[in-house]
Amino acid sequence: MKHREASQPAAPPLPELTERLRRQSRKVTGPRQAILDLMRGRHGPLSIREIHAALPPGDCDLATVYRSIHLLENMGMVKRFDLGDGSARFELLSEGDDGHHHHLVCTRCSIVIKLPDCFPREWEARIAAESGFTGVTHHLEFFGVCPRCKKG
């Protein structure tokens, strides 16, 4: 998938990311460092296969990428997204970022745009009050045809 950002904050420096691993008693292995460095330079969610394909040949095998991404997800360093194509995608998170945001995905070319806005928390509170649910949150992605595909 291709990605485009709407005002993306700068990715955390690699030393900050590796320090987060150390603080949680995790080793800073070569493959983990390569994956973090790759994800720092990419905007938008990537699948495990996309991550593996973008790494230099021989840096790490696909199983290592799977294990590393799932470790990073459990540590809160990456967030999983489902953009409707049957493949989990992952984005790098800055420390303290819960990763809550939404995407707009073109159904023709698969370009992904990170949306800067979210629904007001008051909507969640109103839905909770009206339904009797607690801990209401949401997960929402938008799909459509981008301007470039619309022209073609």
User: Which pLDDT value is given to residue 147?
Assistant: 92
Cα 32–Cα 101–Cα 84 angle in degrees, nearest 5: 80
User: Which pLDDT value is given to residue 12?
Assistant: 63
Phi and psi (nearest 5°) for 100? -75, 110
Q: Which of 60-69, 70-79, 113-122 has the highest mean pLDDT?
A: 60-69
Among the residue ranges 29-38, 47-56, 95-104, 127-136, the one predicted with the least confidence is 95-104
Q: Is the pLDDT of residue 8 over 60?
A: no
Rounded Cα distance between 5 and 15, Å, is: 24
User: Which pLDDT value is given to residue 97?
Assistant: 65
User: Which pLDDT value is given to residue 96?
Assistant: 63
What is the spatial order of strands in the sheet that 102-106 belongs to? 3-5, 112-115, 102-106, 142-144
User: Which pLDDT value is given to residue 13?
Assistant: 61
C-alpha closest to that of 90 among 42, 54, 55: 42
Q: Which is higher by pLDDT, 7 or 141?
A: 141
Burial of 35 (0-12, 13-18, 19+ CB in 10 A): buried
Average pLDDT, the chain: 80
User: Which pLDDT value is given to residue 51?
Assistant: 92
Phi and psi (nearest 5°) for 26? -115, 140
Among the residue ranges 94-98, 99-103, 130-134, the one predicted with the least confidence is 94-98
The pLDDT confidence band at residue 98, using thresholds 50, 70 and 90, is: low
Q: What's the predicted TM-score (pTM) here?
A: 0.65
Task: Check if the beta carbon of residue 14 is closer than 8 Å to that of residue 24.
Answer: no
